[in-house]
């Protein structure tokens, strides 16, 4: 693991059970320092973080075949996305009940009161049944690109669309507890889509303070870890990302640091040069955005070790925690 950036704390090793008596013995002393720790925690996070060079192997999109098709040979940093057809109470791949479909309602009072966050859950479980619709080309500012893709899946058939919507709902609940107003591009209530241009418009219309598009990759076995996709400077046609490049990088770096800390996952070993950060200029979901926006590929569904994490409800909660804390860090400055 070589990620260095804002909010980065390496995962801590498990403590031996033999240390518990000692921990209890000094508990009274430790209590007195909690207040001071709370003050430190409230202080803004440091800046920094190096950008990694983009590997030539990075691919455009996941395939547009049903999730059971043959895995691709390279990373699939995918466009846009939202949803699955799950309703309340449907269980995830590990048997844990999925997080609620509906938002908890009005945002609570909290440090993010007045802030608007848009979460873009990657893909839609129905996309593979609507290939004509999702293959239709839409304008991404710099050219034309397919409306959306099917996304990928684990070898056991747990789809990216299921994963992204579950993590998105978990992150929404956490952000609303902090007082943020959270909007989705899609919440499992559409047969397919929306298209990548529509996804970008949702964030723009909301005048979002931050937008995060949640995905999982479909690369070759042995390729592991997460990466954050940042918008490059694009000024062509109707696309002009120049105003959002700087704040999007800040968002991405903070997101990466918090994701490492909460999940224990390492940055990608196949793109980003170990930084977990990749800059791209070919994704419509980024090119059309007028507000700070990044993509996160949470892991590789086609690697058995990563897939074991992605299909775990416990790990998905950690992923949601890392994503939400990265957004909180960015919004609080």
Domains of the chain (ranges; CATH) run: 49-332 (3.40.630.40)
- Asked whether the beta carbons of 52 and 277 are under 8 A apart, the reply is yes
pLDDT of residue 109: 84
**Which uninterrupted H or E stretch holds 119?**
strand 116-121
pLDDT of residue 79: 56
User: Using an 8 Å Cβ cutoff, are 175 and 324 in contact?
Assistant: yes
pLDDT at 60: 33
List the structure tokens of 117: 């966050």
Give the residue numbers marked as catalytic.
Answer: 297
CA angle 92, 10, 254 (to 5 degrees): 75
Span 146-185, pLDDT tens digits: 999 999 999 999 999 999 999 999 999 999 999 999 999 9
Between CA 181 and CA 115 the distance in angstroms is 6
pTM exceeds 0.85: no
Q: Is residue 312 within 8 Å of residue 94, measured between CB atoms?
A: yes
The length of the chain, given as a count of residues: 333
Give the pLDDT confidence score for residue 108 in this predicted structure: 74
Tokens of 284: 């419509």
- Predicted local distance difference test score (pLDDT) of residue 189: 86
SS3 324: helix
Q: Which residues of the chain have pLDDT under 70?
A: 1-107
Pairing of strands 144-146, 239-240: unpaired
> How is residue 192 written in tokens?
């397919």
Residue 274 half-sphere exposure, CB side, CA atoms within 13 Å?
4
Q: Please, which residues bridge with residue 120 across strands?
A: 213
Residue 305 DSSP SS3: helix
Q: Tell me: cis bond preceding 194? Omega within 30 of 0 counts.
A: yes
Residue 63 token pair: 């395939």
**What is the radius of gyration, based on Cα positions, of the chain?**
19
Cα–Cα distance measured from residue 192 to residue 76, given in angstroms and rounded to the nearest whole number: 20
Q: What is the Cα–Cα distance from 65 to 235, expressed in whole angstroms?
A: 32
């Amino acid at each position: 693991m070589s990620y260095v950036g804002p909010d980065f704390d390496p995962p801590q090793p498990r403590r031996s059970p033999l240390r518990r008596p000692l921990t209890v013995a000094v508990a009274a002393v430790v209590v007195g320092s909690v207040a001071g720790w709370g003050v430190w925690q409230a202080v803004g996070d440091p800046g920094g973080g190096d950008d990694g060079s983009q590997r030539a192997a990075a691919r455009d999109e996941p395939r547009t075949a049903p999730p059971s098709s043959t895995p691709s040979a390279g990373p699939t940093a995918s466009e846009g996305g939202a949803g699955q057809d799950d309703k309340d109470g449907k269980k995830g791949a590990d048997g844990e009940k999925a997080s609620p479909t509906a938002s908890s309602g009005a945002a609570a009072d909290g440090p993010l009161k007045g802030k608007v966050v848009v979460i873009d859950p990657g893909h839609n479980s129905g996309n593979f049944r609507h290939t004509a619709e999702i293959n239709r080309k839409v304008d991404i500012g710099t050219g034309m690109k397919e409306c959306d893709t099917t996304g990928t899946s684990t070898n056991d058939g747990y789809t990216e669309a299921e994963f992204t919507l579950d993590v998105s709902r978990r992150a929404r609940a956490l952000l609303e507890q902090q007082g943020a107003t959270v909007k989705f591009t899609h919440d499992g209530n559409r047969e397919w889509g929306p298209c990548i241009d529509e996804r970008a418009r949702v964030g723009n219309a909301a005048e979002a303070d931050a937008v995060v598009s949640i995905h999982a990759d479909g690369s070759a076995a042995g390729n592991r870890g997460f990466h954050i996709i940042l918008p490059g400077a694009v000024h062509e046609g109707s696309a002009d990302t120049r105003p959002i490049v700087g704040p999007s990088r800040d968002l991405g770096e903070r997101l990466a640091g918090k994701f490492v800390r909460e999940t224990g996952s390492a940055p990608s070993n196949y793109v980003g040069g170990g930084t977990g950060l990749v800059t791209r200029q070919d994704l419509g979901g980024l090119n059309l955005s007028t507000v700070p926006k990044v993509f996160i590929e949470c892991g590789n569904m086609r690697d058995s070790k990563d897939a074991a994490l992605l299909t775990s409800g416990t790990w998905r909660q950690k992923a949601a925690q890392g994503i939400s804390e990265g957004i909180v860090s960015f919004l609080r400055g």
